[in-house]
Structure 1
Amino acid sequence: MLLIFPCRGSNKKYQMLNQNVSSYVFQQYVFEGGAVQWARYRSNPAEYSSNSEMTFGNSINKHKSKLTASIVRIKYNGLRAPQWHFNANEHGLLLEGKAWIGVVDDGANSVATYNVTVGQVTFFPTNTLHWVKCVSEEDCVFILFFTTHDELKTLDVDDAFFETPEDIASRSLKPEGGVDFIRQFQKADVDQAINLPKNLMDLIQNASLAQSDDTLVWKYFHDLIGSKEYLFPGGIIQWARHRSNTAGLTENEKIYSDSINTHADTLTFATLRIYNNGLRQPHFHFNANEMGYVISGCGVIGIVGAEPVEEFSVDVGDIFFFPLGTQHYVKSTCVEDLYTILAFSTGDQLETLDMDDYFHATADDVLAQLFRVKQEEFKKIPKFQADQAVNIP
C-alpha cells in the first residue's frame, strides 16, 4: 500500500516543486494556458506514467477514499475552461496568484462570480458549471481535491458544444444568423482545457471581473487563511468545515458550513502548520479518509493500519493518503515549519481521536491488564490544560 506520491513542478512563492524532477513524478499534462498534474486512479493501467503512480492510484481506489488530487497551474489571462464534473465535488486552495471564479447553479438562476487570493478556498458542487481565470500577472497555482476515487468524469463547455449537431445548437441558442452563426465556431487543434489564445487582445475588449453578493459567494468560497487559528503548543490548525454548533462562526462562515453539509460527499479542509520538531500526535478519524499536500517544510509520517507501512519522509510537493480508521502521525523535521493542506472525505463534522485522549479515557486497570504494567504506572501519563493535538518536546 503506497501512501505517498511526489507531484512536483515549480512554484517560486512556496518553493514547492523541485524542478530537478525524477522519472517517477506525476505526469504533467501541458496546455497553451497552463498545466495539470494528477494523483488519481486510472482504470486502464497503461495510462499510468510509472509503477509508483499506479500503486498510489490503486490504493486510493481500493480504500474507496472519495479523494483525488490535482495541481493546476494557469498562466496570466489563462482560462480553465467552463466545465462540470459528473461524479465529484471539487474543493481547491489557491497557492499562488489571484483568480476570478464563476459558478453557475440552479438552472442559471444563481450565478456567483468572485475573486480568490492566496490561502482562500473554492468549492464547486457536482454537476455545477464553473470557470477559473488567472487575473494576476504571476501564474495561478491551485491544489484541487475531488470527491471520487474512481476516474474523474468532466465535460468542458466547448466539447459539449462541438458534440451537439449544428441545427440543435441553433434551435437552442436562437442566434442572429441561425446555423450560419453556429458554423463560425471552429474546434481548436489543441485541447482547450486551459485556454490562452495568442490573439486574446483582439477577442476581448471589456473583461468583467464582477463580484457577486456575499450571501451567494460564500456558498462556494471560504477565506481559510483568514479564519480562526486553533493554537497548540507545537503548531496551528485552520479549518474550512461544517460545524454542527455554529457558535463562533461568522455569518459568511455559516453559509459555507451549510453549503458543504447540504451537498452530498463534500470535503472538510484544514491547513496544518507544525513548528520545527513539533508533532501532530498519533490519531485516527472515525468518519473520513484523509489526503494531504506539503506546501512547505519537510517531515516524517508514520501509519498503523490493516497493512504494515514503514515510516516515511515527505517534502515539498508530496501528496500523502491515510485510509479511514488508520492511526497516523506527522512530525516536522526541518528548521522551516511543515505546512500542509489536508482534505477529509466528509461534509459532516470531522470525528477524530488522539492517542493521549484515548489513553486518558481508558480505565487504568484495563490498561494494566493489556500492557502487563502495574496500574499505578499509568498515573505517570499527565493531563495538560492545553490541547496536545500538535505538541512539542
Structure 2
Amino acid sequence: MSSETVKHVSECFIKPKYEVQEAEQPYYLAPMDLAMLNFHYIQKGLLFMKPSHINDQEFSTSKLLQSLKESLSLALVHFYPLAGQLSTCISKTRHECLVFVDCNKGPGARFIYATLDMYMSEIMAPVDAPLVVQSFFDHDRAINHDGHKRPLLSVQVTELKDGVFIGCSMNHVLIDGTSYWHFWKIWSEIHRANGKQLLVSRLPNHKRWFPDGYGPAIPLPFTHPNEFLSRYEVGQLRERIFHFSQESIARLKSKANKESNTNNISSFQSLSALVWRSIVRANCLSEDQITNCRFATNNRQRLDPPLPLEYVGNCVTAMITTTTAGELLGHNLGWAASLLHQSVVNHSDKIVHKFIDGWLQSPFVYRPGKMFDPYSVMMGSSPRFDMYGNEFGLGKAVAV
C-alpha cells in the first residue's frame, strides 16, 4: 500500500468568474492575521464514494471536474482575496514592512486533478493514517508566508478506484476555521445550484476589523523575512484518527457533568478533558509538571460589539487552561472538564483585547516551535463546523 503514489494528471488556475471592484484595492491584514505568517496552510478534505450515476446520468470524471471548476470560479467572486497573492512593501525610512494581499497578483487559485490506484477502504481502515494522504494536498509543509509565491488557495481532486477526495489548501493568514468552512459552504451551494439563479445563504463579510485608532495598514517591525520566519518540522510522526460514536460522546458528557455536579459542561469540553488526561497519563509526567490544554477559540461573538459570523479572516486566539499533571490525574474527568469549561466562560472581550493591545505594543509573528511545550495539548478545529453539509453531487461525504 505504501508503494502507491498520487499521480498528478492535470492542473489549471481559476480566477473569479466576474471582476470584483474591491479587488483593485490592497486587502489589508489585521493583527490576528499577521501573527499567523509562520503557521501552515489549513488543509482539510472530504472523501466521497464514487457514484455510478449523477442526476440520472452515468458518472463522468470530466463532467465533475468541469462543474467543480465553474462553481469554484463563482465562489471566488465572493472570496476574491483567495485568488491573489501576498505582497510585502518595505519602508525606506523605518525598520518595518507592510504585508498585505494583492488580489490581482498571481494566476489565481490552483486546481489539480490527480489519481490514486487505491480503494477508499485502504485509506480509512488502517490503524495509522497512510502517508499517501499527505499527497492529497498541494501545500503539505508550506507555511503561510509562502503565499508570496504560492497560490493562497489550491484545490486538489484525487480520484480513487471507488471514491473521490476533494482537498482544499487555504492560506491561514487570510482565513481561520470559521472562514474556511464558510468558503466550502458557499462553493457547495453554488455547485448544487448547477448554474441556476442562487441566493447565497450567508455572504462573506470582508470589512476588515481593526482596533480603534489602528488600521487599515498595520506594519510589522521587520525589514527581512529572516527576522521572523520559522519553519517548524518534527520529523515523521504516526498519525492516528479516533472515532467516537454519538452514544459514547453522550455517556462521556453525562459522566463529566455528574462528577462536576452541573449541567453546563459541553460534549467538546468532556472529550477534550478525556484526551488531555489520556495524553498526560501516557507520557508518565512527574506530578509537579505544568501542563496546559489550549483551545483555538473563535472570538467573533466574544468581542463587544461582536463581529458578524460571516467575518472573513482570523478571529482566533488560544485559550489556555493550566494545571499540574498530578492535579489533572489525581482528580476525575469532571474536574478536568470543569476547568476547561471555566476557561471558556472567562474568555471575554476583555481577554481578547488584552491580547490585541499587547500585540499592538510589540507586534510579533507566532513561532510554532517555541509556542508549544511538549507537556501540553492543543485542540484545533471545532465540532460546530458543518463539514458534512458540503455536497457536490456525490452524496454526503463518508469521511473528513
Q: Do the structures match in fold with TM over 0.5? A: no
TM-score by length of 2: 0.24
TM-score by length of 1: 0.24
The structure with more strand, counted as a fraction of residues: 1
The structure with more helix, counted as a fraction of residues: 2
Choose between structure 1 and 2 for higher RCO, CA contacts under 8 A separated by at least 6 residues: 2
